[in-house]
Amino acid sequence: MRLHRLLGILSILLSRDTISAKELSDKFQVSLRTIYRDIKAIEEAGIPLYAIPGTGGGIGIVKEYKLNKTALTVDEINYLMAGVSGLKTVTDPEKLQILLTKLSPADSYFAVDSDILIDFSAWNKNTTEALKQSINLIRMAIMNSSYLKIKYISSHQKSEIKIAPYKVIFKNAAWYLFGKSTISSEHHFYKINRIEKIELINEHFIPGNAEVPTDWDDDFTNDRGEKIVLSFEQSMEYRVIDIFGKENYEKGENDSIIVTFHCSNKEWLIHFILGFGLNVKIIHPIELKEEYLEYLKKLIILNDC
């Protein structure tokens, strides 16, 4: 495959001062004409090359362009490569493969094995492809300071919003667009998988300060909203860990699991509790029990039970 050969040539050029076209031809078992076409393609990709004619000469990369890896340990290179490999799953893989090739040890065409594997893609292939397209479009808008028009599905409504995008953020197993809508003076987070449609607008904005807050306002938090105490069956421990973390619950009677948190979104909370069926009890507050019971009654009437 030509891409693998190009990356192989690039890896050799990065690890050596020069190499002759004849050596490359022999190494990859292709004609000299093919090698010269590959060299031209590498130059067209923006990598500055030079050629030294005659015996002992060859093709090389301009020294100023090469990454100095002498200050990096193998572990440090592996950490960098793990992060870059993870991004390959949701953005332009060819550009990142070139970066991986630059980081690879000498005489290695591909990334070295690492004990860390990062994969930002979803299990569903179609979901991953849609996410990749959205992220690439958002990044293009950010680089060009162009507005985006999105159709967004929130917990309250479906709306069409014009946004000045500032960052793409991965947090708590989800991808977000961080930006400011034209109808608000504040910056907001928009879950990318809730964006039904996204369009790049040929209209530019002047970028301003957009510091990402460290205290994200999620559906449940540890210090805002009403205090909630729930008791889960022991069989639900794996789900409690996924949602709250293993440091944020304690064991109760009969191996039950007690979770205390704060929540300001009552509608979300009722739906959240309902998802655990008979495996959860409301401990506090009493008013939540009453609201939950009223919801169940409406659910029974709705389904003619």
Q: Tell me the backbone φ, ψ of residue 22, rounded to 5 degrees.
A: -65, -45
Residue 7: helix, strand or coil by DSSP? helix
From CA 152, how far away is CA 113, in angstroms rounded?
A: 40
Which residue, 292, 261, 265, is CA-closest to 154? Answer: 265
Q: How confident is the model at residue 63 (pLDDT cuts 50, 70, 90)?
A: confident
The predicted-structure confidence for 201-230, as pLDDT tens digits, reads as follows: 999 998 887 777 766 655 555 566 889 999
The predicted-structure confidence for 155-191, as pLDDT tens digits, reads as follows: 677 889 999 999 998 887 788 999 998 888 788 889 8
* Token pair for 285: 């507050």
**C-alpha dihedral, 208 to 212 to 213 to 217, nearest 10°:** 110
The 10 Å Cβ neighbour count of residue 166 is 22
The predicted-structure confidence for 93-143, as pLDDT tens digits, reads as follows: 666 666 666 666 544 444 445 677 777 777 777 788 888 889 989 999 999
Which residue, 70, 67, 47, 69, is CA-closest to 59? Answer: 47
Task: Write the burial class of residue 279 (CB in 10 Å: 0-12 exposed, 13-18 middle, 19+ buried).
Answer: middle
Name residue 232's amino acid. Answer: F
